[in-house]
Amino acid sequence: MATARKGRELFTILETSADTESTTVCDSQDAPLNLSADVKWFEIPYRKPDSDEEDGVREEEEEEEDGEGENGFTGTAAAAAEAADAASFIAGGGCNIILVTGSNGLKHDEDEYAEDCYYSTSTNCSDSNSNDSDIDFSDLEEEERRSFFSFEDDLDEDCTSPDFWGEPDQVISIEPFSAVSGPQHSLGDDADTRDYFRILFPDSLFEHMVEQTNKYALYRQRRSGKSDPHWHPTDVREMRAYVGLNILMGINQLPDIGMYWASDIFIGNAGFKKTMTARRFEKLTQYLQLCDRESEPVRGERGYDALFKVRPLLDVVESTMWDAYTPNRCLTIDKCAIVMNGRFSPTQYMPSKPLRKGLTVWMMCDSRSGYCHRAKIYIGKPGDDEEAATLGYRVVASLVRGLEGQFHHIFMDSFFTSVPLLQRLLREGLYACGPTHPGRKGYPEVLHPRNVGKLSQGEFYQCQRGNVVATVTRDVKVVSCLSTNSAPGIVGISPSRQQRESEGEGESDSMEGSGLSFGVPRPLPLLLYQENMRGVDLCDQLRDCYQVGRPCKKWWRYFLWFYVNLCIVNAYIILRESRGGTPPAGFNGKQFTQRHFRVRLAQQLIGDYQGARGMERAARKRHADSPIEYGHRLERMSERSRRCRNCTNKGLRHESVFGCKICNVHLCRGGCFSEFHK
C-alpha cells in the first residue's frame, strides 16, 4: 500500500516479510561488515515515486479523506493497485516500499500497542532524567575533562528539526580497518602461564603490595598502642604465595576459609597447610594494603580521590591491559556488576540484574575474544545535573580514547547510544551501532512508537542522515536502533535453532518461553548488534567461572580481586591467541582450558615457598618413623600451661606445660606425643 500527503515525503518505510525467496540472497563475498557467513541477507532496492503518480495520489487523498483507515493508509482501489505495482518492482523479494504521509501520517490507538512495545511512551527515557551512576574521571587532565563534559558542543542544532532526517536512499561511507591488532609481546614458545600473567600484573606490583602492607601493619600497631605478637614483615615470595592461594580458593571453593586448614582429611587441603598457616594467611589478609594510608587525603581536602586506596593498582593495570593487546575492529562497551557484601556509598541496587546489589564497572572488550581493554569504576552520582544527563556520552568518550582515526566499530547498549554521540564518534573516525530509547534527543519523531503504530514481526522503518541510520523494528518486542556502520535496506535472516541443532549441536528443545525468535528477518543494524554485542558478556563468563579472593567488609578489596581476576582472564586470552591453541610445555592434557591455566599459574606463584609451620611439618614428616631418634622428646616447655596441639586438632581442650621443643608445640603427657608425631 502507498499513501501520500500534500507536502513532500519525509522518508521511506521499508517492510519485509519472512517468506523471502532464495533468489534474493546476496553473494556471501559481498556480505556486510561484521556479519557472520551463516546469515542469509538480501538488499531491498529503493525507488522514488514518479511525479505523475504523486500527483494522482494527492488528488485521491483530497477526494477521499474520509476513506482513511485507522493506521492512516488510504483504502481506495487505486492505492492498492499502486502498492501492487511498487511491490512488483522488487523482483522476488517479498517486500514493498511504503511512503509516509508525514510525522502524523501513521496513527494508532496508544492503549493497543503499549502492551507490546518494549519502550513505553509514558516513560521518559531522555538523557536529562537519567539516574544511573557515574564513573571515575579523576585521572583525566582538565582539558580532557572539559572536552568530555562539553556535550552541547557536539549536539547538532538541526538534529531535532523535521528536515534533519531524510529518506534511506543515501550511500554510506565506511573506511576499511587496516590497523595491526592482537597480542603485543615478545615472549617465546617456552613462555609459561606466569610469564603471560606478568605482562599484565608485573612484579613491581607485588613489591609495592609488600611495601605498603608492612607499612600499614606498623601504622595500625602505632595507632592501637599495642604490638601484634603474631605479625612479622612479609616479602615478595610470601605475597606471591598469598595471591596464589587466593586463586586456588576460586577453584576449590569451600564455605569457610578455615576449612582449608582443617585436620579432617576429607576437607583440609595439604597444599594450603604446607604453604602457610591459617593464622599467617589471616594476618596477611588483615594488613594487606595498596596505598600509604598515612598520606591519604580526607573528603573535602585538595587532592581527594575516592579511589585512593586502589589508585596505584589502577595506574599500572590499566596501562598494561591497553598495551598488551591492540584492539581489533569490533569492540563492545557495556557495564558489569561486582557482588559486594561491604559498605560503600556508590553501591547500586539493581533489581533486574542477577546481582541485585553490587559495584558498577564500565568495560570495553573485544567482541570476539572478550579481552578487556579498559575498565572504568563508578564512584558516585555527580552533583551537577548537566553531568548526570550526559553520563553515557562521557563514558564512551572516556573509553575510546586513543582509537581516533582507526575506524573501529563500537557496539553499545541503549544506555549510551544517542545521535550526538554517534556524530562525535563519526567525526573521530569511529563507527557505532546500538539500540536506543526513542525519547532521546535527536531521534526522529516519525519513528516514535506513537507515530509508527503496531508493527508486525519482521517489519521495520528507517530514515537516514548521512552515515547515521535510524531504525525501528519489531522482533520479539519493538526496538529502536541507531547506527553509522550499516547501509539502509539490508535485511538478514539468522539460522534458526532447529537448523543449528540439525547440524549436530544437540537435540531440539522447545522454543516456548525462550523469549527468542529465530528465522525472522532483521535489519542490518540489529544483525550487527546481535553478532558483536557479546564482548563484555564473554569476559564476565570467563571471570565469573572462578572467583578470586574472599568476601569482606572493605570495599576496595573487591576491586583488588576484580582486577587480579581480570588480569588472569586477559593473560589466558593472550596465551590462547599467541600459541594458537598449543598448550605450554609440560602439559599432558588434550585441551588447555582456563582452569588448567589458573591452577598452573597458582602453582608457579607459590613455587617452593613454605612458611615456618610448613617447614616444621616437613621435618616432622621426615622423622615420623622414630621421633626420639631425631631428638624429638617430651620435655617441659614453659612455666605457663598452653593448649595441647594434638587435642586441639581433635576438637578437645586440654592444657599442658610439656611438649616438643623441636616441633615447638605443647602436648599432653601420655599418648598425645606419639600420636602427634605419626
536-559 pLDDT per residue, tens: 999 999 998 999 988 888 888 989
Give the DSSP letter string of 631-657: T---EE--SS-EE-HHHHHTT---EES
In this structure, what DSSP letter does residue 166 have? B
The three cell numbers of residue 287 are: 594488613
Supply the pLDDT for residue 1. Answer: 32
In the predicted structure, residue 382 carries a pLDDT above the cut 80: no
The three cell numbers of residue 468 are: 547515521
Taking the C-alpha atoms of residue 98 and residue 71, their distance in angstroms, rounded to an integer, is: 13
The three cell numbers of residue 667 are: 602436648
Beta bridge partner(s), residue 478: 474
Supply the pLDDT for residue 117. Answer: 36
Taking the C-alpha atoms of residue 140 and residue 352, their distance in angstroms, rounded to an integer, is: 32
Contact 106, 28 (CB under 8 A): no
In this structure, what DSSP letter does residue 502 have? I
Supply the pLDDT for residue 383. Answer: 52
Convert the pLDDT of each residue in 519-542 to its tens digit: 678 899 998 998 899 999 999 999
* Residue type at 307 in one-letter notation: L
Contact 617, 273 (CB under 8 A): yes
User: Quick one: average pLDDT of 159-175?
Assistant: 82
Taking the C-alpha atoms of residue 275 and residue 325, their distance in angstroms, rounded to an integer, is: 34
Taking the C-alpha atoms of residue 266 and residue 249, their distance in angstroms, rounded to an integer, is: 16
Supply the pLDDT for residue 546. Answer: 92
Contact 413, 533 (CB under 8 A): yes
In the predicted structure, residue 25 carries a pLDDT above the cut 70: no
Lowest mean pLDDT among 307-311, 381-385, 391-395: 381-385
In the predicted structure, residue 397 carries a pLDDT above the cut 50: yes
Taking the C-alpha atoms of residue 360 and residue 322, their distance in angstroms, rounded to an integer, is: 20
As a whole number of Å, the end-to-end CA separation of the chain is 92
Distances in Å between the Cα of 113 and the Cα atoms of 182, 444, 476 are 47, 19, 13
Taking the C-alpha atoms of residue 591 and residue 86, their distance in angstroms, rounded to an integer, is: 57
Taking the C-alpha atoms of residue 316 and residue 313, their distance in angstroms, rounded to an integer, is: 5
Taking the C-alpha atoms of residue 320 and residue 322, their distance in angstroms, rounded to an integer, is: 5
Lowest mean pLDDT among 291-300, 562-571, 625-634, 668-677: 625-634
Lowest mean pLDDT among 113-117, 262-266, 275-279, 280-284: 113-117
Supply the pLDDT for residue 36. Answer: 61
In this structure, what DSSP letter does residue 400 have? T
Supply the pLDDT for residue 171. Answer: 87
The CB-based long-range contact list for 302-309 (8 Å cut-off, 24+ gap) reads: 305/138, 306/136, 306/138, 306/346, 306/379, 306/380, 307/136, 307/138, 307/377, 307/379, 307/556, 307/559, 309/556
Lowest mean pLDDT among 2-6, 215-219, 392-396: 2-6
Taking the C-alpha atoms of residue 204 and residue 640, their distance in angstroms, rounded to an integer, is: 45
Contact 361, 381 (CB under 8 A): no
User: Quick one: average pLDDT of 492-503?
Assistant: 58
Range ranked top by mean pLDDT from 154-168, 450-464, 608-622: 450-464
pTM (2 d.p.): 0.71
User: Quick one: average pLDDT of 361-375?
Assistant: 94
Reduced to 3 states (helix: H, G, I; strand: E, B; else coil), residue 409 is: strand
Contact 252, 226 (CB under 8 A): no
Taking the C-alpha atoms of residue 73 and residue 1, their distance in angstroms, rounded to an integer, is: 7
Grade residue 37 by pLDDT with cuts at 50, 70 and 90.
low
Reduced to 3 states (helix: H, G, I; strand: E, B; else coil), residue 116 is: coil
Burial of residue 203, with CB atoms counted within 10 A of its CB: 0-12 exposed, 13-18 middle, 19 or more buried = exposed
Contact 111, 147 (CB under 8 A): no
Tell me which residue of 640, 645, 678 sits closest to 660, measured CA to CA.
645
Beta bridge partner(s), residue 642: 656
Supply the pLDDT for residue 243. Answer: 96
* Residue type at 634 in one-letter notation: L
In the predicted structure, residue 340 carries a pLDDT above the cut 90: no
b/e per residue 39-65 (b: at least 16 CB within 10 A) = bbbbbbebeebeeebbeebeebbeeee
The three cell numbers of residue 447 are: 519513528
Supply the pLDDT for residue 633. Answer: 81
Supply the pLDDT for residue 54. Answer: 47
Other beta carbons less than 10 A from residue 288's beta carbon: 20
In the predicted structure, residue 20 carries a pLDDT above the cut 80: no
Grade residue 640 by pLDDT with cuts at 50, 70 and 90.
confident
In the predicted structure, residue 193 carries a pLDDT above the cut 90: yes
Any residues with CB less than 8 A from the CB of 80 and at least 6 apart, and which? Answer: 1
Supply the pLDDT for residue 529. Answer: 92
User: Quick one: average pLDDT of 335-341?
Assistant: 77
Supply the pLDDT for residue 496. Answer: 55
Sorted by where each begins, the domain ranges of the chain are 186-297+304-326+546-625, 631-676
Convert the pLDDT of each residue in 105-158 to its tens digit: 333 333 433 333 333 333 233 333 333 333 444 444 444 444 444 444 444 446
In the predicted structure, residue 191 carries a pLDDT above the cut 50: yes
Residue listed under C-alpha cell 500527503 = 5
In the predicted structure, residue 300 carries a pLDDT above the cut 90: no
Tell me which residue of 115, 103, 70 sits closest to 446, measured CA to CA.
103
Contact 193, 604 (CB under 8 A): yes
Report the residue count for the chain: 678
Supply the pLDDT for residue 639. Answer: 83
Supply the pLDDT for residue 619. Answer: 46
Supply the pLDDT for residue 508. Answer: 36
Supply the pLDDT for residue 325. Answer: 96
In the predicted structure, residue 231 carries a pLDDT above the cut 90: yes
Supply the pLDDT for residue 457. Answer: 85
Beta bridge partner(s), residue 331: 366, 410
Contact 335, 362 (CB under 8 A): yes
Q: In 367-415, where does DSSP find H-type helix?
A: 385-389, 391-399
